[in-house]
């Protein structure tokens, strides 16, 4: 045979058709050879346990991208229970009420150690009551990937709920019947766990864009359902209508403006709470009135920020997790909606996005006179939250604002000392309440700057005293001596301990 240059081409070879011919073809990349030899699909969880030799003492990891809709953790832990496996270390990025079955496994000793960034529901209650035989280590979103990459948290098997996957182990969270969006919290597990299993209910021929890459994956467990997509919208992700919340939000936005942080190219994170989103909406008004555009917003992403991206008010979103379906849809199609890992989001050693934040709006269950914040337990000491990205963003942002009413259900938010420190006062700059704005004395620059402000600046002590007039001085809560958990700061050090609650604790 001759090619287009009339040169000889031996049989079995492809003739040259011109130097631009390649443009008529798509790039073809095989998986690494290991991936192509065998399909990794398995549909029997019991067989998977046998193959992975999952037994007493294993560390199993999960992520919370499906939030209150996740069924993967329950499914795997049911198999643990069925087999009577003991002494499991559960490394879950988040535990929700949906996972309340964990409580019994703790009581029965199937699970004896837990790593989590956030715990809600019955699981927190039984841990607070002292049922967990080993340690609870509460981490941050940035601290967890740091501890994994550093070999502190060693995961035997990572189970990664992946809403769409192929048999080789490629997958992402953007497609499939239970699309939950960005899988930012899974990446460290994918990279460093000894064995990695993706769990999917949408197996397709080929996944094109892969947040989960075949080369890291050992098995692809195909199940009927990984959960309910609708569960990703848990809690409020709408702007508050509460007048107190709105006043706080307006004052917070005015404070940020007066602090000089709303300029072209600024960046922010506000979270998904009703008051936080209200701050975003007031900031948006300021932006529009002054024709200002933000460079980015980060964190868990809601439709509110998606619409700001669409309107061109924000150049980029850095998304570690989608909080609603608009965010999922946007992450899928908008190239300025950037998908990032938890490490890139908040790992102190990964030059994280949080370090570029101008301001962050955060909540608090308690805040004390040193501006230390508790979002890990209730005032009665019951575990019902966790840092998530709280202390990561508080450290990274130029200005960290806590928005909170002075009291919730007649319980004061401001304390002499918080029950548990989640985020140190060193990184908390301002508390905005309905009764005034307290600036951390460490920020003498801000105190100076706001000396003549029309905003009501008061000391946090003054706010505490005002609150006590309404609530009375709350009784000190007494705890058992036993430590049931520790709060690990993002660098791996322990910032506080969580003590066992007394039998008569109030919910």
Contact set with a second copy (CB under 8 A): 3, 5, 7-10, 13-19, 21-22, 25, 27-30, 32-34, 36, 149-151, 154, 191-194, 348-350, 370, 372, 391, 395, 421, 424, 426-427, 483, 486, 489-497, 499
Q: How far is the CB of 488 from a second copy (least distance, A)?
A: 8
Alpha helix ranges (H) inside 160-242: 187-192
Bridge partners, residue 212, by sequence: 171
For a second copy, the closer of residues 1 and 97 by Cβ is 1
**Cβ atoms 392, 140 nearer than 8 A:** yes
Q: How far is the CB of 450 from a second copy (least distance, A)?
A: 23
Bridge partners, residue 297, by sequence: 268, 317
Q: How far is the CB of 94 from a second copy (least distance, A)?
A: 22
**Cβ atoms 455, 251 nearer than 8 A:** yes
For a second copy, the closer of residues 135 and 307 by Cβ is 135
Q: How far is the CB of 250 from a second copy (least distance, A)?
A: 29
The residue to which tokens 């003492």 are assigned: 57
For a second copy, the closer of residues 65 and 395 by Cβ is 395
Q: What is the spatial distance between Cα 74 and Cα 52, in angstroms, rounded to a whole number? A: 18
Q: How far is the CB of 356 from a second copy (least distance, A)?
A: 16
Which tokens go with 20? Answer: 């631009």
Q: Which long-range contacts (CB under 8 A, 24 or more apart) does 48-52 make?
A: 48/197, 48/219, 48/221, 49/79, 49/83, 51/219, 52/156, 52/157, 52/195, 52/197, 52/219
For a second copy, the closer of residues 29 and 333 by Cβ is 29
The DSSP code sequence of 423-488 is: B-GGG--EEEETTEEEE-TT-HHHHHHTTT-SS-B--HHHHHHHHHHHH-PPPPPPEEEEEEEEEE
Residue 242's Cβ-count burial label (10 Å; 0-12, 13-18, 19+) is: middle
The full 3-state SS of 247-269, as one line of letters, equals HHHHHHHHHHHHCCCCCCCEEEE
Q: What is the spatial distance between Cα 236 and Cα 234, in angstroms, rounded to a whole number? A: 7
Q: How far is the CB of 144 from a second copy (least distance, A)?
A: 14
- Cβ-Cβ contacts under 8 Å for 338 (sequence gap 6 or more): 316, 317, 318, 319
How many Cα atoms occupy the beta-carbon half-sphere of 75 within 13 Å?
A: 24
Q: How far is the CB of 416 from a second copy (least distance, A)?
A: 13
Q: How far is the CB of 281 from a second copy (least distance, A)?
A: 30
Q: How far is the CB of 8 from a second copy (least distance, A)?
A: 4
Bridge partners, residue 294, by sequence: 266, 314
Taking the CA atoms of residue 405, residue 407, residue 408 and residue 409 in that order, the dihedral angle to the nearest 10 degrees is -150
Q: H or E element: which one contains 360? A: strand 359-362
For a second copy, the closer of residues 444 and 470 by Cβ is 444
Cα 504 to the center of its chain, rounded Å:
32
Q: How far is the CB of 316 from a second copy (least distance, A)?
A: 21
Q: How far is the CB of 165 from a second copy (least distance, A)?
A: 20
Which tokens go with 200? Answer: 């999917």
């Amino acid at each position: 045979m001759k090619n287009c240059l009339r040169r000889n081409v031996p049989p079995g070879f492809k003739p040259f058709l011109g130097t631009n011919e390649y443009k008529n073809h798509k790039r073809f990349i095989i998986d690494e050879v290991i991936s192509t030899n065998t399909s990794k699909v398995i549909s029997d969880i019991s067989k998977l346990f046998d193959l992975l030799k999952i037994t007493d003492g294993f560390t199993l990891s999960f992520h919370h991208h499906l939030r209150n809709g996740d069924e993967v953790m329950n499914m795997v832990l049911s198999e643990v229970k069925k087999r009577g496996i003991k002494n499991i270390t559960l490394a879950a990025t988040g535990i929700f009420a949906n996972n309340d079955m964990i409580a019994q496994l703790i009581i029965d000793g199937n699970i004896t150690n837990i790593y989590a960034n956030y715990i809600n529901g019955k699981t927190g209650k039984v841990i607070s009551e002292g049922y967990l035989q080993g340690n609870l280590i509460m981490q941050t979103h940035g601290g967890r990937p740091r501890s994994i990459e550093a070999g502190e948290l060693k995961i035997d098997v990572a189970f990664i709920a992946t809403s769409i996957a192929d048999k080789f182990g490629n997958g992402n969270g953007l497609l499939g019947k239970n699309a939950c969006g960005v899988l930012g919290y899974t990446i460290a597990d994918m990279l460093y766990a000894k064995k990695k299993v993706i769990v999917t209910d949408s197996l397709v021929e080929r996944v094109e864009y892969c947040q989960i890459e075949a080369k890291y994956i050992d098995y692809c467990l195909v199940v009927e359902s990984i959960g309910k997509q609708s569960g990703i919208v848990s809690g409020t992700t709408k702007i508050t209508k509460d007048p107190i919340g709105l006043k706080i939000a307006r004052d917070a936005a005015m404070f940020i403006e007066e602090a000089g942080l709303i300029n072209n190219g600024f960046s922010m994170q506000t979270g998904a709470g009703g008051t936080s989103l209200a701050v975003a909406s007031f900031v948006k008004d300021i932006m529009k009135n002054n024709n200002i555009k933000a460079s980015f917003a980060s964190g868990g992403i809601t439709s509110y920020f998606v619409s700001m991206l669409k309107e061109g008010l924000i150049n980029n979103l850095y998304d570690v997790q989608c909080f609603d379906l608009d965010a999922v849809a946007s992450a899928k199609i908008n190239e300025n909606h950037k998908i990032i890992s938890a490490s890139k989001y908040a790992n102190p050693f990964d030059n994280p996005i949080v370090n570029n934040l101008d301001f962050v709006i955060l909540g608090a269950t308690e805040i004390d006179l040193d501006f230390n914040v508790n979002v890990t337990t209730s005032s009665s000491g019951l575990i019902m939250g966790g840092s998530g990205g709280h202390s990561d963003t508080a450290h990274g942002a130029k200005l960290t604002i806590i928005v909170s009413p002075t009291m919730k259900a007649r319980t004061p938010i401001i304390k002499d000392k918080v029950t548990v420190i989640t985020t140190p006062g060193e990184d908390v700059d301002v508390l905005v309440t309905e009764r005034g704005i307290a600036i951390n004395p460490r920020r003498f620059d801000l105190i100076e700057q706001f000396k003549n402000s029309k905003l009501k600046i008061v000391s946090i002590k003054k706010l505490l005293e005002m609150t006590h007039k309404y609530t009375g001085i709350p009784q000190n809560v007494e705890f058992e001596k036993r430590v049931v958990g520790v709060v690990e700061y993002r660098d791996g050090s322990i910032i506080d301990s969580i003590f066992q609650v007394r039998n008569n604790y109030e919910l």
